[in-house]
Amino acid sequence: MKQLCDVPAPAKLNLFLHVTGRRPDGYHLLQTVFTFIDLADRLHFTLRDDGRIVRETDVPGVPHDQDLIVRAARLLQQHAPASSNAAAGVTVRVDKNIPAGGGLGGGSSDAASTLMALNRLWGCGLSREALQALGLTLGADVPVFIFGQAAFAEGVGEALQACPVPPAVYVLFIPTISVATATVFASPDLTRDTKSIIMHDFAGHDIHQFGRNDLQAAACALFKPLSLFVGWLETLGIQARMTGSGACFYISYPSLQEAEACRQRVEYALASHPEARQWLRQVVICHGISRHPLYNWI
């Protein structure tokens, strides 16, 4: 076997997230703006000629056959050229840097990078739109990573329009707990009737301050450590916003210097109030990225 490539799978942030309704099948209707950050998993691919899909790395809490990486590879395997699809296999090693249950889309991003990388390595030749359609069968957040640009999303998150996002540096707060997306969406406290908007509504607004995350109040009500953590940040004068269904929060700044000052303020406060370590595992500075690193692979 010969290792052919390793690729990044960047995290995403939801700059706002509105729940506008619910479909008869139970799926929620959303409006959000996605952007990418330079916090990323890395996937290492080694092609095989025996048709097997093997995840070499043990991922705690994620059985091999349920991993979105494995599921994505098996899904795309059906589209390998007829002359080689019986032999199209791969071994994948994963360096996990994106925390699970953080609302950062790590599993979805891994699946998207797998589809984009193997589409090229196996010579499948599928278009971006075709890969997005495959990705949607794996999860609602997968298509935006294949779309590859900051995007205004509607529907369950799959109807995408490019939406330029000003450059920003993000201070990312990673709590000690993780959050199950389904638990938050099932909350009876969740607002499900936010008025729909159009992209034109952003005009004249800082997209980083626009709207809100409708899931934040429900997540904080369900998970007390999140509520305590947010309250503690507010005592420091930091109004952070949750991404996705949680548990991670972030605040944006136009410059690295301002972001670093915020991080230092939080670290100083942690030294004075060590009990806050019960809620906060890590503070990370991330840069926004305008395009997915694999955008030109399709």
Which residues participate in catalysis according to the annotation? 12, 141
Q: What is the rounded distance in angstroms from the CA atom of residue 159 to the CA atom of residue 31?
A: 9
Neighbours of 175 (CB within 10 A): 25
* Burial tier of 137 (Cβ tally within 10 Å: 0-12, 13-18, 19+): exposed
Helix axes 224-235, 215-222, angle to 10 degrees: 110
Residue type, 54: V
